[in-house]
A and B are shown apart, each in its own frame.
Chain A
Amino acid sequence: AQRVTQPEKLLSVFKGAPVELKCNYSYSGSPELFWYVQYSRQRLQLLLRHISRESIKGFTADLNKGETSFHLKKPFAQEEDSAMYYCALSGYGNNRLAFGKGNQVVVIP
């Protein structure tokens, strides 16, 4: 079974402050982790994936297999970062993508 946990539902931060969204997962196989984002009135889209190991829009996420975590971080929040963020899990031998419940991020000007 695969499970994704995002503990905080709503996160409000001031512009310029750091953002960290927590994601923990449970999966017995080799995981593939993603962060998806949904901006207001837009479709769900990929933000980043752990195998890419790149920074997208200033966001980074590191897969920690020991802690089974894939937290999303950005050092300085911007107003355009206000959105819903979903952590998602797939993996080898697994053909479905499982999502967490999501985090609503509100960046206060």
Chain B
Amino acid sequence: DTGVSQDPRHKITKRGQNVTFRCDPISEHNRLYWYRQTLGQGPEFLTYFQNEAQLEKSRLLSDRFSAERPKGSFSTLEIQRTEQGDSAMYLCASSQRKRDIGTGELFFGEGSRLTVL
């Protein structure tokens, strides 16, 4: 296992188009997180899954954003009708943790960089 992998690494799109990112977590990890990072800022939490259940969503996740983890393994993050403000690095992370006892160590992917023209 090579760790958390994300695809694509870079995506350039025009405003109004839809984009989808994929994340493959470390295989035995039950938790999966999506974060967004813009220039000069730390990662900002978007959403998290415990197995296939999406248990928390940030207010940053507008209705144009949707995330799935259908079989409790890989996850997708889709952004519909992209806007220039969506340009950012989208990070995926995974961990093995029970509920409500904190996150423990997160293992991050290399990120998917989105540029909206």
**Inter-subunit contact A92/B108 (CB<8 Å):** no
Does B45 interact with chain A (Cβ within 8 Å)? yes
The interface-forming segment of A55-63, A66-74, A75-83, A97-105 is A97-105
Which of B99, B101, B103, B104 has the most CB atoms of chain A within a 10 A radius of its CB? B103
How many residues does chain B have at the interface if contact means C-beta atoms less than 8 Å apart? 29
Cα–Cα, bound, A17→B64 (Å): 48
Per-residue A-contact encoding for B75-100, CB less than 8 Å = 1, 0 else: 00000000000000001000000011
> What is the total number of residues of chain A having a CB less than 8 Å from a CB of chain B?
25
User: In the complex, how many angstroms separate the beta carbon of A97 from the nearest chain B beta carbon?
Assistant: 4
Which residues of A approach B to under 8 Å, CB–CB? 4, 6, 9, 32, 34, 43-46, 49, 86, 88, 90-102
Asked if B55 and A95 make an inter-chain contact with CB atoms under 8 angstroms apart, the answer reads yes
Interface of B is mostly: loop
19 A-B pairs within 8 Å (CB atoms) are namely: A6-B42, A32-B103, A34-B105, A43-B3, A43-B108, A45-B108, A86-B42, A90-B103, A92-B100, A92-B101, A95-B100, A95-B103, A96-B45, A96-B103, A97-B45, A97-B103, A98-B45, A101-B40, A102-B41
> For residue A34, which residue of chain B has the nearest CB?
B105
B74 interface contact, C-beta 8 A: no
Q: Is the CB of B108 within 8 A of A90?
A: no
Cross-chain contact of B102 among A45, A46, A94 (Cβ < 8 A)? A94
Which A residues are in CB contact (< 8 Å) with B50? 95
- Point out which of A32, A34, A44, A46 has the most chain B C-beta atoms below 10 A from its C-beta: A44
User: B8: CB under 8 A from chain A?
Assistant: no
